[in-house]
Amino acid sequence: MLEINIDDKEVFQEFIINLDNVDYIFELQYIQRLERYFINIYDADKNLIIAGLKVLTDRKVNVYVKERLFIKDLYILTLNNDIRPPKYGELGINKRCKMVYLNE
């Protein structure tokens, strides 16, 4: 399992994740008015793959695309039974919710 390091102090961040030897560019943004995180995913050439995906817990991120995006599954997991979508500061390593890639 690969835990994706997310900076819980930034409302907008862009980072590159290598999943199964393929680079993806993730944009993660917290919209305070909606109290919700959203993700955009691009390929390495900055071609948009997924736009405006709401961050929901305990669901596969890649279930929302027609073709299989990743070889394995990318999740936003909760560390307890609280399955509410993460609010600002609740997403990241050692937070209530974390992004993980189940690569095993």
- What pLDDT is stored for residue 70 in this prediction? 74
Q: Which residues, at least 6 apart from 42, have a Cβ–Cβ distance to it below 8 Å?
A: 24, 25, 26, 27, 48, 49
What is the structure's pLDDT at 88? Answer: 93
> Does residue 91 surpass a pLDDT of 70?
yes
Q: Kindly list the domain boundaries of the chain, sorted by start residue.
A: 2-102
Instruction: Give 102 or 34, the one with higher predicted confidence.
Output: 34
CB atoms inside a 10 Å sphere around CB 71: 12
**Residue-wise pLDDT tens digits, 22-79:** 999 999 999 999 999 999 999 999 999 888 989 988 877 765 555 667 778 888 999 8
- H/E stretch holding 88 reads none
* pTM score of the predicted model: 0.86
pLDDT at residue 102 above 90? Answer: no
Amino acid type, 47: N
CA distance 43 to 27: 11
Instruction: Output the pLDDT for position 30.
Output: 95
